[in-house]
Structure 1
Amino acid sequence: MTQSVAKVKKTPPGPLEYMRRWPMQAWLVGVTVFLYAPLITLMIFSFNDSKRNIVWQGFTLKYYVKALTNESLIQAFTNSLVIAFFSTIISVVVGAMAAILLWRFRFPGKTALDGAMSIPIVVPEICMGVGMLVFFAKVFPWPQGMIWPLNLGAIIIAHVSFSFPFVAVVVRARLASFNRELEEAAKDLGASEIRTLLDVLVPHIKPSLLAGGLLAFTLSLDDFVITFFTAGPDTVTFPVKVYSMVRFSVTPEVNAASTILIVVTVILTFFALKFQGSDALTAGHGAADKK
């Protein structure tokens, strides 16, 4: 028995067993280190008991206390969360409607509209930022001095403009696997267009809606360039605040604030996947597969 187990372990990898080959394993390790080493370094130095971030002096939590008691930093973080929340909701709705429109209907100018939706994805952010600056300065001036959170309206609109195309791309990819005969069956049974949309189509694209929402939330939360050009003098978001702090020096307080943002993003993603359950894992499989 022991000899047979040893023989199985020493069996050379097959032609398609790439993960058992050491070059592929080394490549994956290298890519993982390349992606996560900067984040891990940032988190480690957020506990550094030194004003000079490049010199390790000891472990401390005082910079987390400073970050959590910094009123301007907390206000900026709150602004970013509110902007990301509203822009995500609007982006999911608009992006899903645009995806369904381009997937289901044929109309003049469909190709042009499809291409136009890709522009916010491929255009450099600096161009989008300058365009938004001109738009809100000359075409649609957003009122100044409004109460919170109405003063964030211009930034929310700007974030929706570059977030909803990403949602539309994700939803359209999911719609490609939809069986249109299900819609026809629902209509034959007397369901209206609205009931068919809510009871047949929306459950099918639910995983893509969640994935697109998470993508839109992340893009909005960490956006700097477009927000920098769109924000008014009295509105500061978390990335803009961190940038203003980094202009003087990269202190452990900046690392602590960035670490908090990373942790919050990871926690929100975890709970979103938790609430979703196993729908994303079983998407596209039949009932027999689930059993």
Structure 2
Amino acid sequence: MTKPNKPLSATVLTLGFLFLYIPIISLVVFSFNESKLVTVWSGFSLKWYGALLHDDELLTAAWLSLKIGLMTACASVVIGTWAGFVLARFGRFRGFTFFAGMINAPLVIPEVIQGISLLLLFVALEQMIGWPKGRGVLTMWIGHVMLCVSYVAIIVQSRIKELNRSLEEAALDLGATPFKVFFVITLPLISQALLSGWLLSFTLSVDDLVLSAFLSGPGSTTLPLVVFSRVRLGLNPEMNALATLFITAVTIGVIVVNQWMLMRDRKRTRDMQMAFAIADAADAPSTTTRPAVATNTLDTANA
């Protein structure tokens, strides 16, 4: 068995990280560039952040993307959790293959096909029943939820399959209803999967371009659409400033979430150790009671 070449592994890993993060670092650096040319450094300046505050189109698009992303993440977690739980716990019921195929379909169907299909569907519905009236926030939200539910369902399904069902069965034996067991026992155990699904759905929604291009309408332009339209005409330093703000917010959010999850894991480990210690103390024979009983017996016999 050959030993791994540590210098070679370190070199490959370093090159991989540099390939991934050098463009992001250069974007952050040039957001403080005084020159309007995003590839020529002329001095440190914060004027593009000031210009960003007066760019109503970019700020409106960013706020719309954040709003749709939040709504999409919350709805996807609710629907995806239900779908993942059904796939993991209900077994091979009638229509299981069709249900699983519909849940997983957005993962393999190109977004262009999904966008065209939804656009034709909304146009037909508007002609038949008058809803929805044009394309906008509602239609984009429906399309993003359809895309993100699949990711949440897969994450939740894999997490539920790994659960030890002894806690749930114990709660059922003690008289808890299945509804209460799900919300009191199961949901806390899969909370990390729910958080991962929420963050992934939010990221996919904010970053989506193809579905938004098909389902958006006048007055409902998201940030990716604005950035794409501007990049076609040339790079703009204001977009570097906006991207830097997004990167900073995401980095802070990831650090905070990781610290919270680490603190929660440590607390759970301490609680489990304390519970095991209490259980061991209760099961162990008492070392103080028996000598006292023996001493009392000897005193009675001597008397």
Give the Å deviation of 1:144: 4.2
Tell me the alpha carbon deviations over residues 223-260 of structure 1, each in whole angstroms, 9 at most, x when there is no partner. Answer: 11111111111111111111122121102112112222
* CA pair 167-254 structure 1, distance change in 2 beyond 3 A: same
Structure 1 residue 95 corresponds to structure 2 residue 95: no
Structure 1 residue 166 corresponds to structure 2 residue 151: yes
Q: Which amino acid aligns with 1:115?
A: G
Give the Å deviation of 1:116: 2.3
* CA pair 22-213 structure 1, distance change in 2 beyond 3 A: same
Work out whether residues 80 and 237 of structure 1, in 8 Å CA contact, stay in contact via their aligned partners in 2.
Answer: yes
Structure 1 residue 41 corresponds to structure 2 residue 26: yes
Tell me the alpha carbon deviations over residues 183-223 of structure 1, each in whole angstroms, 9 at most, x when there is no partner. Answer: 22111101011110011111110110001111111111111
Q: Which of 113, 116, 120 is 1:130 aligned to?
A: 116
Counterparts of 2:258 and 2:122 in 1: how far apart (Å)?
36
Classify the secondary structure of the residue corresponding to 2:190: helix
Counterpart in the other structure of 1:182: 167
* CA pair 49-234 structure 1, distance change in 2 beyond 3 A: same
Structure 1 residue 213 corresponds to structure 2 residue 198: yes
Counterparts of 1:157 and 1:283 in 2: how far apart (Å)?
38
RMSD across aligned C-alpha pairs, in angstroms?
A: 2.6
Q: How does 1:7-46 map to 2 (within 5 A)?
A: 18=4, 21-46=6-31
Counterpart in the other structure of 1:65: 50
Counterparts of 1:64 and 1:156 in 2: how far apart (Å)?
29
Counterparts of 1:229 and 1:211 in 2: how far apart (Å)?
27
Counterparts of 1:39 and 1:142 in 2: how far apart (Å)?
39
* CA pair 255-207 structure 1, distance change in 2 beyond 3 A: same
**Rg (Cα) greater in structure:** 2
Classify the secondary structure of the residue corresponding to 1:168: helix
Q: Which amino acid aligns with 2:11?
A: A
Q: Which of 203, 212, 217 is 1:232 aligned to?
A: 217
Structure 2 unpaired stretches of 5+: 277-303
Tell me the alpha carbon deviations over residues 113-172 of structure 1, each in whole angstroms, 9 at most, x when there is no partner. Answer: 212222111222222222222222223642249xxxxx5111111110001111111111
* CA pair 22-250 structure 1, distance change in 2 beyond 3 A: same
Work out whether residues 177 and 284 of structure 1, in 8 Å CA contact, stay in contact via their aligned partners in 2.
Answer: no
Q: Which amino acid aligns with 1:160?
A: V
Q: Which amino acid aligns with 2:221?
A: V
Q: Which of 77, 101, 104 is 1:115 aligned to?
A: 101
Counterpart in the other structure of 1:81: 66
Counterparts of 1:51 and 1:195 in 2: how far apart (Å)?
59
Counterparts of 1:52 and 1:186 in 2: how far apart (Å)?
64
* CA pair 289-43 structure 1, distance change in 2 beyond 3 A: farther
Q: Which amino acid aligns with 1:168?
A: A
Work out whether residues 33 and 45 of structure 2, in 8 Å CA contact, stay in contact via their aligned partners in 1.
Answer: yes
Give the Å deviation of 1:69: 2.1
The count of corresponding residues between Structure 1 and Structure 2 is 271
Work out whether residues 242 and 254 of structure 1, in 8 Å CA contact, stay in contact via their aligned partners in 2.
Answer: yes
* CA pair 121-269 structure 1, distance change in 2 beyond 3 A: same
Counterparts of 2:156 and 2:40 in 1: how far apart (Å)?
47
Give the Å deviation of 1:276: 4.0
* CA pair 279-166 structure 1, distance change in 2 beyond 3 A: farther
Work out whether residues 125 and 132 of structure 2, in 8 Å CA contact, stay in contact via their aligned partners in 1.
Answer: no
Counterparts of 2:103 and 2:249 in 1: how far apart (Å)?
30
Q: Which amino acid aligns with 2:200?
A: L
Moved more, 245-254 or 132-141: 132-141
Q: Which of 236, 239, 245 is 1:260 aligned to?
A: 245
Counterparts of 1:182 and 1:221 in 2: how far apart (Å)?
38
* CA pair 195-125 structure 1, distance change in 2 beyond 3 A: same
Structure 1 residue 142 corresponds to structure 2 residue 137: no
With the length of structure 1 as denominator, give the TM-score of the two structures: 0.85
With the length of structure 2 as denominator, give the TM-score of the two structures: 0.82
* CA pair 282-229 structure 1, distance change in 2 beyond 3 A: farther
Tell me the alpha carbon deviations over residues 87-137 of structure 1, each in whole angstroms, 9 at most, x when there is no partner. Answer: 100000100000000111131121222122221112222222222222222
Q: How does 1:269-284 map to 2 (within 5 A)?
A: 269-279=254-264
